[in-house]
Structure 1
Amino acid sequence: MTDDSDVGEHILEVLEPLLRSCTSLVVSERTNLNHRGGGLRVTYEVMLNPGATTVHVDQEVTVERADAPRRRPSRPALPRAGRTLDP
């Protein structure tokens, strides 16, 4: 998942409760994988809960990284080249 095990653990602190809170999924315990040079690699077995047919999300969530590059503001499109409607 990442070469920085501290970052990986922080991600898992957010991800694991989300996975486990979904009643439509059955989530195994995590398995740590060996990775040359350190870091963190994990796997989960995730299956659909018997009888589950749909998953409903009640809230939209937006996540932005604090270290993400700034977005350039969009500008209006240029007018199309070509014929004009004036005679």
Structure 2
Amino acid sequence: MAKGQFKEPVRIQLGRIDRDRLVLGVKDAAAILLREWPAEETPRRTKAMAACLGVIRGTKPPSYARRYFVAACKEANVLLEL
């Protein structure tokens, strides 16, 4: 498994109904949180960004970032399934 890759992808929908995405790892999740996030700044989004940074720095496992990313996705109503 590549460094920063999630064991299970996260399926989200940021915009149009026919355009869902599979988030495969930390780099994808971080880019979405920084550039494409549909919601305002929230504590869950901030925690998800910090978790992604921890993985990128090598201090946390990818599962840690995935857990916080999923929580932020649920809050923003963009999570499709687990």
Bigger-Rg structure (1/2): 1
* Greater RCO (Cα-Cα under 8 Å, separation 6 or more): 2
TM-score where L is the length of structure 1 = 0.27
TM-score where L is the length of structure 2 = 0.28
* Structure richer in strand, relative to its length: 2
